[in-house]
Structure 1
Amino acid sequence: MLTFRPLGLFLVAAVLLFAPLSVAADEAETKASTPKPAYPEFKKVVEGLEEIPGLMTIYRASGDDPTQDHTKLLCRIPRSLIGEDLLFATSISRGQYAGFMWSDWLVRWEIVGKHVKLVAPNVEYVQSPGSPVNNAIERTYRPSFLVALPIVTMAGGDPVVDLGGLVFSKISRPPTAAGTGSPNRKLSVVRKVKNFPENVLIDIDLAMSSTYGGESVGVAYAFRKLPAESSYTPRPADERVGYFVTLRRDWSTSYSERETRVRYANRWKLEKQDPSLELSPPKEPIVFIIEDSVPIRWRRWIRAGIEEWNKAFEEIGYVDAIIVQQQTASNEFADIDPEDARYNFIRWVVTGRAFARGPSVADPRTGQILDADIVFDDSMIRWFTAEFDQLGPSSLSSVRGPGYEHHEAMLDLAAGHGGLDERAAETWTRGHVGHESHECASCSIAHGLAQQMAMGLIAAKVVTPTGKEVPERFLGEVIKQITTHEVGHTLGLRHNFRASAWLTLDQIRERRDGSDEALSASVMDYNPIMYFKGDSFEEVRHFVTPVIGPYDYWAIEYGYGDPAPGQSANDFLASVAAQSTKPEHAYATDEDTYYIFSPDPLTNRWDLSSDLDGWLTTRGELVSELMDELSTWGADRDEPRYFLRQMFSALLSEMTRPGYYLARIPGGQYFSRSRATDPDARAALTLVEPEKMRAAVDRLGETVLSPDYFAFDPKLLNNLARSRWVEDFSRTDPVEYPIHTYITRVQKSVLYDMLGMPGLQRLYDNEIKTTAEDKYTLAEHLQKLNSIVWPELEEVPAGPYTDAEPMIPAIRRNLQSVYLKRLMTYVSVDLTYADLSPDVQRMVRYSLRETGEKIGAVLDAHGKDLDFATKAHLTETRSQIERVLEAQFTAK
């Protein structure tokens, strides 16, 4: 029998049957209409990572968990920090440049699509919102960016990025022994991450891989929130006072202004706690921490060197402007990192190079100094561990200015091609060497003082680790002076190479032995060891200038002094700067001591006193005495012979140094930075007295340009062997002492100074810069030099001549060859590309022609009697002159 179900029941069953299909369709429709999340869930992304809160929250993977990427460094950037000014700085925490502040930028985070860019705006140009020219500035000077990091996830409104794209990149350009390599993230290690409300520090061992393996370099990255611009008042720089500057260009200045460039003096923010007090501590003192790496023996000297500057600050009303703290393994400074941008450190390193470095980081918007770290190399006081071949480029650069060796190489290359372009050589030199930056990159006071120490220790016969112990007072004073010098850099001060010309020799000696007064106007000069012939090492009161000088007090007043009540800041600064005409305030810096391009002969490194000739005479007497003693005392010591070689090289360096000073005097001009309205203002340039120019050339003829000056005891020369230890072996360095090579190198450098295009043209121009009857002319200069270099052509020495006793000794022949080569470079120079007057070129050509004729006369009259070397030399020299003079040249 058929049974019929009610229709309603049937429908219910149908609905139940098809319901799942309907729900699935609805869910599919809902999913299709719901957008997919742009980023993974934040909590899942950071799951298992260590959270380190601070300026920007860092999420770090554990290096102990093999399942995690040990290099993962996620960073949550607060939305409030986007677009804010930050300081991004790198430093070298481990490796051969450990302790060096490396590079820094003003940066801003900027979100672009699904990336966050680290933008480096062009802060050189002042932004003036509302100014009509501001739009043009923004269009013209566009920002760059250091890196673009993909957004990994979002935490609320904050982007989260992987910092690996920054810290494991080439952005820091870390130094490696090979000089090359590419970052390898997989082999790099995150050493530490420290986070604070105002800054974050990330320190890694960055693996740099190359074709033949690689090496790891410690690189520390620091982000720091910059102070508001309105919280600091920039101080205008003044060319009369030597500060590092922050240079900006302001196109919104009035058209009546002479310049659009604005220069701010780099300095710390220093404000009195109580301005009503004559002496008040600052609201925020400048704090230096002596790292625990500094040997205990030297800490008191370094502390004294830092605190020396408090004397200058007390003069302008600040007590304890600089505070010194000592880091130990157990005190409150134990865990502070030198790489942390909030702290200033004095660090001790062991690279094997004698140097000290005092860099600082300034806010590129205002010039406010924010951070400074001083690095001091242990080898500075281990002078005997280094080979003192003092005539190499580093030694000569420390005296004559950086870059001379590049310049001479370019000139030699030009001479080899029959032409000279000294202007191109200068451009190339400057491009490859550069000037001193705010980081004091070219400061070589420690290296130079190591050489000066060698002089003092040889004079006291204290020269080896097995000899008498070096007195701590001697080394301590040197360490203190270097520290004070480098701290001066971190306060914003530049070098002042005119300061040593402040006092006479007699005044210096009287002060040195009878007081604790300054022996130089500034510690920012390269002041030599003040040791003279006849001194007793034990009785000398001070070996270097013991305190900061009057220039230092004055410079600190300009940079940090406050106006008197009712006095405007501009009036105060103007009144201070106007004191530049005082002799003790004379200022000249690196650009004023730049090889042959700087005309002032009183602006030197390692000179002493206002009487340059007297200083050279005094120093020469000491060196001569020591060199004579070295033949007996030094050669018979119970020690390896290469120690004797070091001593000889140190003395030879001092012995030849007068040449570089004297060569700058002919054509010289004293330079003054004073302004016309300053009290007792001098002309910007004043010609050196003619009698001093003649005396300098005569003195050179009696010293470094004379063979007799280098008459060394053969016994001594035959004991100057190199180290024979296998680690010191070099195929290119001779075991014996190449005395002729070294002498020729010195003579070449001196002649290149005296015959350089800037010097010759300056001498020529000077003839119309004076109305005096007595003038030292270019014509007199060339004739005088010719008679010094070629005396045998004026008066032929009496014979007989032999190969062992030639008419012209080897040292003189080499000098004449260098002299000839230097003059020949001018003969075919295209004057279109050289800053040289045609008249100068003609005088040089005539001088060569005259020399060739005199050589011919000597050969005609004495040729059959001449020794082989002299005949070969004169014959080839005459041939060279004839070929050069006959060659065509362009004179446009």
Structure 2
Amino acid sequence: MNKIWIVALAAMIGTGPLGAAYGAESSAKAKTEQTAGRKAVKAKKSKRGKKSAADTTAKKPAPAKGSIEAVIKPGAKRTDGLFTVIEQEGKYYFLIPASLMGRDMLVVNRISKAAADMRQGFFGYAGDPIGENMIRLRQSPDGKKLFIENVSTREMPRDTAGDMYQAVVRSNMQPIVTSFEIKGTNKAKDSLLVDATDFIGGDTELTGFDNAYKLNLNIGGFQKDKSYIVGVKAFPENIEMKSARSYVITPKSSFPGYKPSPMPATYEINSSLILLPETPMQPRYFDPRVGFFTNDYIDYDKNPQGIKDIRMITRWRLEPKPEDMEAYKRGELVEPAKPIVFYIDPATPKKWVPYLIAGVNDWQAAFEQAGFKNAIVGKVAPTPEEDSTWSLEDARYSAIVYMPSNVANAMGPHVSDPRTGEILESHIHWYHNVMQLLRNWYMIQAAPSDTGARKMVFDDALMGDLIRFVSSHEVGHTLGLRHNYGSSAMTPVDSLRSASFLEKNGHTASIMDYARFNYVAQPEDHIRRELLYPRIGDYDKWAIEWGYRRFPDLTTPEAEADTLNKWIIARLQNPRLWFGT
């Protein structure tokens, strides 16, 4: 539609896990431990014999004093997941395994309930993303604190063995943005207990509004006494934290000298803490001849006499199941190990749900060209009785979110792994009033050929078809595709009046175009309704094939580049496959 929000970070693979079980140690601490180890060896020589230096320097950092039992009472509520969440007397504690130290994570923040009368244009609705950060956890050198680093990957080299690696790392020390006092450890001494109450319910950019969004909504001072924690849920690969936060809003005024009175506003904010894959997906490098969104980073090794900007396309990780790999190599259609699933927001008017689902499923044919069957599917969201753990804010699930809004639009953003471009999830924004826009467009453009468009209120079947078209367009964005204005321009105008041509090709070569409806067709051409709508076309199938076809024997993006380039040279002999901005 007219605007698309793309939730994407400039990307690059980071430095990997920091240190051993409890995180990286400083050189000063290592020297202290070495000295202590040598003294211990001398004291025990007469009883236990001589020990090697390696035995005395391999010690882990001493855990913080205390145990969980000294802090947590027997009746406290515990929920296990990525790590254990403990609720006790209004406080929330995290018991975090040492194995997560140094692991890359993503924090994604969304408005789960929006403040009344505080929206600004397209922004300020429930479901809107308000911030995203890549983080790492590590223990302080003295073992008494847990740090959160906000990780920038803009200049980090992917090749840890490259000549420039250490130099770039030294010039990119990641900021520590939050710290926790370690309250104790478990009996096995492999997990750390911290009080996360203020982290969950406080107002920080890490788990709340990005500063740019605050400026957009005129959000001012945080009112802690009028805010509270709604709850925390733990899942195997993510933690979901929800809190209600009150602010003072100072509206902007266009009248010189007039200062509007501050106003109260309360938002419910959901923060998803997502563990990124330990084995990152193999990136695919961007090519300007095929229209994908990208994550970018600067590489200091690839250009021997300068730097090189690397652009990785954003795409889902679609891979054959191990048992189907040989069949995939032979060119047989196989189901992916993990298909793309879009759920429909339970708040969506029921009569439009089948059309939104159909818009998702329309992309199945495109993925078949890339070798995958049933690769993408739309589903009705489960009821609480069917699945009490399902939540619209849960970062494991992608959804088409219904927004009761006068905005006449829809948007298809997505969240991606900043290291590789792997799309992790998407929440498509479906604004209620997009139907008015569709009605106006279709009435003006298609009423000469479709008598059903000659009235102010369309039949549900016609409006449902128009909703399906927009659903497909927005899903295309969530698959990584940009708008394409090039390929559709190659359609001969007289072909737009030919029923046989339209049956085979449609009136536009890409649903990612802004071609709208076939207004060239005339009543005497007898073009049926379905041929007046945009549909997934030749370019869309080609773009999905280029972005999602797997090459199991090519194990680096550099190795793929030659094959992909040959594909493009061959395919672009067909102007219907051109990409243009």
Larger Rg: 1
Residue in 2 aligned with 1:509? 497
Residues 105 and 166 of structure 1: is their aligned pair in 2 closer, same or farther, counting only changes over 3 Å?
same
Classify 1:342/1:195 alpha carbon distance in 2 versus 1 (closer, same or farther; 3 Å). same
Q: Distance in 2 between matches of 1:514 and 1:581?
A: 21
CA distance in 2, matches of 1:178, 1:270: 37
CA distance in 1, matches of 2:112, 2:477: 21
Q: Distance in 2 between matches of 1:503 and 1:556?
A: 21
2:113 aligned with 1:83: no
> Does the CA contact (< 8 Å) of 1:245 and 1:263 recur in 2?
yes
Match of 2:225 among 164, 176, 186: 186
164 and 543 in structure 1: CA distance in 2 versus 1, 3 angstrom threshold? farther
Rounded to whole Å, the distance in 1 between the matches of 2:345 and 2:572 is 38
User: Offset at 1:583?
Assistant: 1.2
Quick one: which amino acid aligns to residue 325 of structure 2?
Answer: P
The aligned counterpart of 2:196 is 163
Do the aligned partners of residues 363 and 458 (structure 1) sit closer, same or farther apart at CA in structure 2, a change above 3 Å counting? same
Equivalent residue number for residue 236 of structure 2: 197
Q: Which residue of 1 aligns with 2:325?
A: 275
Partner residue, 1:239: 288
CA–CA distance in structure 2, aligned partners of residues 38 and 468 of structure 1: 70
Contact 1:498 1:587 in 2 (8 A): yes
Paired amino acid for 2:235: F
User: Per the alignment, in what secondary structure is the counterpart of residue 483 of structure 1?
Assistant: helix
User: What is the alpha-carbon distance in structure 2 between the residues aligned to residue 228 and residue 566 of structure 1?
Assistant: 20
Instruction: Describe the superposition over 1:167-207 as per-residue Cα deviations: whole angstroms up to 9, x where unpaired.
Output: 32131217679622333333223223211222111122222
Contact 1:363–1:369 under 8 Å retained in 2: yes
Residues 113-192 of structure 1: matches in 2 within 5 Å? 113=142, 114-124=144-154, 125-155=156-186, 156=189, 158-167=191-200, 168-171=202-205, 172-173=208-209, 179-192=218-231
2:326 aligned counterpart, secondary structure? coil
Amino acid at match of 2:127: G
Name the SS for the 1:547 alignment partner.
coil
Q: Residue 515 of structure 2: which of 490, 514, 527 is its match? A: 527
Shift of 1:213: 4.6
Residue 39 of structure 2 corresponds to which residue in structure 1?
Answer: none
Q: Kindly tell me: are residues 519 and 331 of structure 1, through their superposed partners in 2, closer, same or farther at Cα, counting changes over 3 Å? A: farther
In structure 2, how many angstroms separate the alpha carbons of the residues matched to 1:582 and 1:472? 38
Q: How far did residue 499 of structure 1 move?
A: 3.3
Give the secondary structure class of the aligned counterpart of 1:515: helix
1:43 aligns with 2:53: no
C-alpha displacement at 1:264, in angstroms? Answer: 1.4
In the alignment, the residues of structure 2 paired with residue 41 and residue 335 of structure 1 have an alpha-carbon distance, to the nearest angstrom, of: 31
Cα separation, 1, equivalents of 2:447 and 2:385:
41
Q: Residue 549 of structure 2 aligns with which residue?
A: 561
* 1:513–1:540 Cα contact (<8 Å) kept: no
- Separation of aligned partners in 2, 1:286 and 1:550: 21
C-alpha distance in 2 between matches for 1:564 and 1:474: 44
- The one-letter amino acid paired with 1:226 is L
1:195-244, CA deviations, whole angstroms, 9 ceiling, x for partnerless residues?
A: 122211112222223574522112111111111235x2211211111111
**Residue number in structure 1 paired with 2:245:** 206
CA contact (8 A) 1:520 1:549 kept: yes
Deviation by residue 1:278-336 (Cα, 9 ceiling, x = unmatched): 11111111111122222221122111111111101112221101122211436635641
CA contact (8 A) 2:488 2:576 kept: no
Q: Is the 8 A contact 2:496 2:502 kept in 1?
A: no
Counterpart check, 1:495 vs 2:483: yes
Letter in 2 for 1:365: R
Distance 1:562 1:354 in 2: 38
- Name the structure 1 match of 2:434: 380
For 1:485 and 1:349, locate their aligned partners in 2 and report how far apart those are by CA, in whole Å: 18
1:308 and 2:362 matched: yes
TM-score by length of 2: 0.74
| Preserved contact between residue 358 and residue 378 of structure 2 (Cα < 8 Å) | no
**Gapped runs of 5+ residues in structure 2?**
1-62, 115-123, 250-260
Q: Which amino acid aligns with 1:161?
A: V
1:100 lines up with 2:88 in the alignment: no
Task: Decide which moves more: 44-53 or 294-303.
Answer: 44-53
Report deviation, 1:150.
3.6
Counterpart amino acid of 1:205? A
Tell me what 2:84 maps to: 57
Give the number of the structure with larger relative contact order, counting CA–CA contacts within 8 Å between residues 6 or more apart: 2
Tell me the distance in 2 between the aligned counterparts of 1:142 and 1:128: 18
Distance (whole Å) between structure 1 residues aligned to residue 554 and residue 87 of structure 2: 56
SS in 2 for 1:200: strand
On the 8 A contact 2:445/2:517 being kept in 1, the answer is yes
Out of 264, 267, 292, which is 2:312 matched to?
A: 264
| Equivalent residue number for residue 346 of structure 2 | 292
Q: Which position in structure 2 is the counterpart of 1:215?
A: 265
> Whole-Å Cα distance in 2 between the matches of residues 318 and 217 of structure 1?
41
Name the amino acid aligned to 2:194.
V
Q: State the SS of the aligned residue for 2:304.
A: coil
State the AA in 1 paired with 2:69: K
State which of 447, 472, 475 in structure 1 corresponds to 2:463: 475
Is 238-247 or 292-301 further displaced after alignment?
292-301
Deviation per CA, 1:417-443: give whole Å up to 9, x if none.
Answer: xxxxxxxxxxxxxxxxxxxxxxxxxxx
Q: Residue type of the partner of 1:57?
A: T
**2:577 — aligned with what?**
585
- The 1:348–1:513 alpha-carbon spacing in structure 2 relative to 1, beyond 3 Å, is farther
Query: 3-state DSSP class of the match of 2:248?
Result: strand
SS of the residue corresponding to residue 186 of structure 1 reads strand
Cα separation, partners in 2 of 1:286 and 1:361, compared to 1, 3 Å:
same
Identical-residue share of aligned pairs (%) = 28
Relative distance call for 1:555 and 1:159 in structure 2 (3 A) is same
Q: Could you tell me which of 541, 544, 550 is aligned with 2:529? A: 541
Query: Which residue of the partner structure matches residue 486 of structure 1?
Result: 474
Query: What is the total number of aligned residue pairs between the two structures?
Result: 476
CA contact (8 A) 1:291 1:328 kept: no
Distance 1:280 1:178 in 2: 47
Separation of aligned partners in 1, 2:489 and 2:496: 11
1:229 paired residue number: 279
Q: Which structure is higher in helix share?
A: 1
Q: Tell me if structure 2 keeps the 8 A contact 1:500–1:521.
A: yes
Name 1:618's counterpart in structure 2.
none
**CA gap 1:249/1:279 in 2 versus in 1, 3 angstroms:** same
Q: Which of residues 327, 330, 350 in structure 1 aligns to 2:404? A: 350
Give the alignment's Cα RMSD to 1 decimal.
Answer: 3.2
What SS does structure 1 have at the residue aligned with 2:444? Answer: helix
State the distance in 2 between where 1:539 and 1:550 align.
21
Q: Is the 8 A contact 1:42 1:153 kept in 2?
A: yes
Tell me which protein shows more strand as a share of its residues.
Answer: 2
Structure 1: where are the runs of 5+ without partners? Answer: 1-36, 62-67, 384-448, 590-892
